[in-house]
Amino acid sequence: MSELSKILVIGSGPITIGQAAEFDYAGTQALRALREEGITSVLVNSNPATIMTDEGIADIVYIEPLTPDVLTRIIQKEKPDGILPTLGGQTGLNLAVELAEIGILDKYGVRLLGTSLETIKMAEERSQFKNLLLSIREPVPRSAIVYSVEEAEAKALDIGFPLIIRPSYTLGGSGGGMAQNPLELREMVRVGLSSSLTREVLLEESLLGWKEIEYEVIRDGADNCIIVCNMENFDPMGVHTGDSIVVAPSQTLTDKEYQMLRSASINIIRALGVEGGCNIQFALSPWAAKKDHAESYYVIEVNPRVSRSSALASKATGYPIARVATKIAVGKRLDEIGNQVTGKTTAAFEPALDYCVVKVPRFPFDKFPLGDRVIGSQMKATGEVMAIDRCFEAALQKAVRSLEIGRRPLLWEDKAWGEDISSYPLYPSDFRLWAIMAALRRGAQVVSLSLKTGIDPWFIHRMMSIVDMEQRFLSEPLTPEILREGKRLGFSDDGIATLADRLPEQVRNLRHEWSILPVYKMVDTCAGEFEAETPYFYSTYEEENEAPPLPERKAIVIGSGPIRIGQGIEFDYCSVHTAWALKRAEVKSIMINSNPETVSTDFDTSDRLYFEALDEESIRDILENETFSSAPPSIVQFGGQTAINLTDPLYRSGMPIMGSDAQTIDMAEDRELFEGFLRLQDIPQPPGGTATTIDEALKVAHTITYPVLVRPSYVLGGRAMEIVYTDSELTSYIQEALELGTKHPVLIDKYLQGKEAEVDAVSDGQGVLIPGIMEHIERAGVHSGDSMACYPPLSLTPEETEKIVDYTVMIARRLHIRGLMNVQFVIMPQSKVYVLEVNPRASRTVPFISKLTGVPLVKIAILVMLGKSLPEQGYTGGLWKVRNLWGIKAPVFSMGKLPGVDTYLSPEMKSTGEVLGVDYTFAGALAKALIASDFMLSPQSSILLSIADRDKAEALPIIRGLFSHGYMLYATRGTAEMIKDKGMEVKAVAKKLTEGYPNVVDVIQERKVDAVVNTTTGERTPLKDGFEIRRAASERRIPCFTSLDTIKVAVEALAYKERIFSVQPLRNYVEGR
């Protein structure tokens, strides 16, 4: 084997549902491992909000679109010896397969590391996979693909009833189901065949109620195999493992079952020949082997790469799977890789857990209340939380606390559920956990709930033990014994307060009085058998505390919790940089976070890691545990809204905050206070007012005139924000807000449809450094997280730039910002600049602007907080010199996976991730941003247009552009007429689905069009009309433009020649080389 001196690593691209922060975690570990081995790493990823794309993690960083063409150009340039595709999710594997198949890897002598081409394809190709498993005598469920009802009837005889029917390639996963008998089978197959675009239907043996179990296996080149961890899904077969509640290790398996699946896992990884990590999913029968079920288990799926599950397993055990897998891929054996946890043993061992880990998925339905909440084989969660404790009850309760879904503790019940248990949502959905709790509270039997849900009775018994404890709190006086028992079972002070009719603070005081305080235990991979050095802790209510306060100077870094829409991986990026900046300043960093997917919860990111919920109780407990002579200061600016929201409780409990103080933060966060502040500073803001009643609201609206932007004060990432055009819409909005019972008033601002720009700035109280201004491509009204943003600004005049800088400096100084701040502006004609909002914290764009300008914002902010002024750090205030490059950030949506959710761009954020296009020219940057976010139009194809009347004039040049590029135009009636009037050829289609063939949805489903442009007035009724069009487009995975600004630049990009863009390491762009 030739020496490996340079390796190309493929990242996973933007965050989407199913491919989230876990790959930044894996990639970062892998790149560090390569560095330890003295190998030069070349990384390519299109996602700038990642730690892996930082200089200093990889040796050479490319932020470029993940396409075979780009990869080929990088390979030509860098001439790597090997390529590591197993760290970038399915994206990485697919790219590697493409590169191999077009002959690039052979041509340039690049070795595929970790897993072979055959193995990657095998795991994806159902029939090959099945044959391989059968050849090593591993059972797979009986299944068949059929193309007719007759064929289905014949195959059903082999498989047996009941069986599952899944039409292939349908929209929204429709048309499937379970058939109990031939009659149902015929009907379902008939419907399924007609809804399948490929006219094929998969028949599969029903595994309803079987347990779903996962194993994480590692194998090295010498064929040594170990199991890192096994995990049991709380939700039985049928729910995607990413959407399941998962527990580690398995709880209901006997040793014989555990070992049977363990041996099968090793058997499979050997047959696949994977050198590295592999995830294997099994279905395990919960019943005694019946005659017709010869097998007690089936192999369901194999992922020959690191995955979300391997990230979870790593965090659950302390065993760094990605690091070990990488070292194996470059030729190390397990026993040659050190175990960093114990510092003595090697990676050749199996972790032993002495605690219970529970993962709970984080769903986006708080943002998308109209989305289809039923969960199944299509993953819908955007993120997840993990909690560790010594019993399941406590780990589950802590995990639910960590979810941060507003007021939905485990005690929450939907008021609509009532007394009739049979009407509860006990089918798989994001409500099921709460519904089971509610049913238990109303006397439902464990066994009957288990039968109904397929969830193992063991789990429901544990939930019953929580319900029993609730009853005790409700009915018995609060004594030390009962309080201690409640804490042992994971009840929060809040929960106990609610049940025992106290205030949370009173419960806290009682705990102190009675010395009922958490202790912190170490995650050490070996259940205490060996002395370990990991600084990785979880809380529990027991005797021995293993985390005495660190004696050195230190600071608490509050992380950002689960990945959700509006609070993504950017904040983890910031948290990690905070820890690093503290380290460089010789201050010990103590990280608190609940998200297992992230780099921040890697145990060697910080000096100490507490894997805990990010709520007041956990943070205060940790602060008390870390109090040496005084409590250490907390850093709240980098963990998104989660961390900043903790400012007030920490301040009230007398805990020190680093950087901007609580008053500053309150002033910026509280809309009313902030408006008063801006008025006092004479800084323009959109006119507006507040209202708590409908009458007040109408009065404000009439004064400032429609359209207006309405939102509740104290917003969470633009939540519940709407643009309103009429009295009736305003009335219904206010009514809904009043029903929600928020005490905060509603804010009503004039909606200014101007250019939008934003800045991130760092201030030491005097000087204010602005690394750059970012201008949005879309006009105001689209959430900044969903806009394309461009650095340097495209169209700002010097006067506008000056105003933006002046206002930013003024706000930072007068608000006494110490650290970071983000300001959003809207720019109206005649260079009128208005301030929209100020966030007294790191924003989503910090990684983007830091990477493009080379200004390390987080590090500077931390040093400022530690007392080093900007000049002392070598920075002057004001706007940083503009780099000679173009950077365009584009949002990425996961809408194809969320049926029922509208994709229309609005003030509500909807995207799950972002990509960066960077180049020497605007054209290059734009092309890359569009390619990487899947918004690039293909040349000379066809497009469907449905344009609102008020946009028609503005749309005309865009349509002309499309036409002149040889586009075939389809349009709804009004739009078609306009196009025809202007002398262009167009095919009219019906707008309403009831108005004959072809209608808008037909042309999308039948692949007649490759893109859609749909704008509406934004009012509620037209929004409803376009909904079907937009849904059809997202389910077909074709670009759907809902803002003319976006389609305008996309059409511009059509003019670009092939190879308009360069492919260069990021450093070359930044340094202008």
| Closest alpha carbon to 598 in 565, 619, 575 | 575
Q: How far apart are the first and last CA of the chain?
A: 36
Contact indicator for 550, 608 with CB cutoff of 8 Å: yes
Verify binding: residue 514, another protein, rule CB under 8 A: no
Q: Name the one residue in this structure whose structure tokens are 């991986």.
A: 569
Residues binding another protein: number (CB under 8 A): 56
Verify binding: residue 292, another protein, rule CB under 8 A: no
x-or-dash string of contact with another protein, 158-197, rule CB under 8 A: ----------------------------------------
Contact indicator for 458, 465 with CB cutoff of 8 Å: no
Verify binding: residue 725, another protein, rule CB under 8 A: no
With CB under 8 A as the contact rule, the residue among 134, 352, 882, 953 that binds another protein is 352
Region near another protein per CB under 8 A, out of 402-410, 527-535, 756-764, 1030-1038: 527-535
With CB under 8 A as the contact rule, the residue among 353, 411, 516, 701 that binds another protein is 353
CB of 356 to another protein, least distance (A): 6
- Neighbouring residues of 548: CB distance < 8 A, sequence distance ≥ 6: none
Verify binding: residue 255, another protein, rule CB under 8 A: yes
Gyration radius of the chain's alpha carbons: 29
Q: Pairing between strand 1011-1014 and 942-946?
A: parallel
With CB under 8 A as the contact rule, the residue among 166, 305, 327, 390 that binds another protein is 390
Verify binding: residue 690, another protein, rule CB under 8 A: no
Region near another protein per CB under 8 A, out of 235-243, 457-465, 497-505, 875-883: 457-465
DSSP 3-state assignment of 239?
coil
Nearer to another protein, 366 or 393 (CB): 393
Contacts by 152-155 with C-beta closer than 8 Å and gap 24+?
Answer: 152/185, 152/186, 152/189, 152/201, 152/203, 153/182, 153/185, 153/186, 155/203
Nearer to another protein, 77 or 472 (CB): 472
Nearer to another protein, 232 or 675 (CB): 232
Beta strands in 651-754 (DSSP E): 688-691, 708-712, 722-724, 746-750
CB of 330 to another protein, least distance (A): 19
Beta bridge partners of 389: 356
CB of 255 to another protein, least distance (A): 3
Beta strands in 788-831 (DSSP E): 789-791, 818-828
CB of 257 to another protein, least distance (A): 8
| Contacts (CB under 8 A) with another protein, residues 215-254 | 222-227, 249-254
CB of 234 to another protein, least distance (A): 13
| Contacts (CB under 8 A) with another protein, residues 1018-1047 | none
Region near another protein per CB under 8 A, out of 353-361, 588-596, 799-807, 1025-1033: 353-361
| Contacts (CB under 8 A) with another protein, residues 530-559 | 530-531, 542-544
Q: Residue 927: in which H helix or E strand, if any?
A: helix 922-932
Nearer to another protein, 203 or 225 (CB): 225
Contact indicator for 10, 44 with CB cutoff of 8 Å: yes
Verify binding: residue 328, another protein, rule CB under 8 A: no
Region near another protein per CB under 8 A, out of 181-189, 522-530, 590-598, 824-832: 522-530
With CB under 8 A as the contact rule, the residue among 161, 417, 427, 458 that binds another protein is 458
Verify binding: residue 487, another protein, rule CB under 8 A: no
With CB under 8 A as the contact rule, the residue among 205, 212, 456, 493 that binds another protein is 456
Nearer to another protein, 224 or 1005 (CB): 224
Verify binding: residue 286, another protein, rule CB under 8 A: yes
Nearer to another protein, 446 or 700 (CB): 446
Verify binding: residue 325, another protein, rule CB under 8 A: no
DSSP 3-state assignment of 988?
strand
Both tokens of residue 1046?
A: 């976006």
Region near another protein per CB under 8 A, out of 72-80, 142-150, 255-263, 649-657: 255-263
Nearer to another protein, 247 or 865 (CB): 247
CB of 248 to another protein, least distance (A): 10
CB of 390 to another protein, least distance (A): 5
Nearer to another protein, 487 or 1031 (CB): 487
- For residues 602-622, one letter each, b for 16 or more C-beta atoms within 10 angstroms of the residue's C-beta and e for the rest, the string is bbbbbbbbbbbbbbbbbbbbb
Sign of CA pseudo-dihedral 601, 336, 272, 8: positive
With CB under 8 A as the contact rule, the residue among 266, 360, 516, 989 that binds another protein is 266
Sequence letter at residue 432: R
Verify binding: residue 263, another protein, rule CB under 8 A: yes
- Neighbouring residues of 847: CB distance < 8 A, sequence distance ≥ 6: 48, 49, 50, 570, 573, 574
Separation between Cα atoms, residue 335 and residue 351, nearest integer Å: 14
HSE, side-chain direction, 13 A CA sphere, residue 976: 16
Beta bridge partners of 790: 775, 888
C-alpha distances out from residue 471 to 440, 625, 952, Å: 11, 31, 63
- Neighbouring residues of 891: CB distance < 8 A, sequence distance ≥ 6: 785, 786, 787, 788, 911, 913, 914, 933
Verify binding: residue 526, another protein, rule CB under 8 A: yes
CB of 252 to another protein, least distance (A): 6
C-alpha distances out from residue 775 to 73, 754, 790, Å: 30, 11, 5
CB of 294 to another protein, least distance (A): 16
Sign of CA pseudo-dihedral 484, 409, 431, 313: negative
CB of 287 to another protein, least distance (A): 6
Separation between Cα atoms, residue 585 and residue 169, nearest integer Å: 55
Verify binding: residue 288, another protein, rule CB under 8 A: yes
| Closest alpha carbon to 685 in 736, 606, 603, 748 | 748
Nearer to another protein, 456 or 1035 (CB): 456
With CB under 8 A as the contact rule, the residue among 144, 178, 271, 391 that binds another protein is 391
With CB under 8 A as the contact rule, the residue among 461, 553, 868, 965 that binds another protein is 461
At 83, phi and psi to the nearest 5?
-130, 135
Separation between Cα atoms, residue 887 and residue 102, nearest integer Å: 30
Contact indicator for 617, 610 with CB cutoff of 8 Å: no
x-or-dash string of contact with another protein, 404-443, rule CB under 8 A: ----------------------------------------
Separation between Cα atoms, residue 579 and residue 556, nearest integer Å: 9
Verify binding: residue 529, another protein, rule CB under 8 A: yes
CB of 323 to another protein, least distance (A): 18
CB of 527 to another protein, least distance (A): 4
x-or-dash string of contact with another protein, 899-938, rule CB under 8 A: ----------------------------------------
Contact indicator for 621, 537 with CB cutoff of 8 Å: no
Q: Pairing between strand 201-205 and 211-219?
A: unpaired
Separation between Cα atoms, residue 1060 and residue 1072, nearest integer Å: 18
| Contacts (CB under 8 A) with another protein, residues 354-383 | 354-356
With CB under 8 A as the contact rule, the residue among 346, 506, 1005, 1017 that binds another protein is 346
Verify binding: residue 287, another protein, rule CB under 8 A: yes
Contact indicator for 576, 599 with CB cutoff of 8 Å: yes
Both tokens of residue 757?
A: 């720009």
Which residues bind to another protein, rule: CB under 8 A?
A: 222-227, 249-256, 258-259, 262-263, 266, 286-288, 333-335, 344-346, 348-356, 390-392, 446, 456-458, 461, 464, 521, 526-531, 542-544
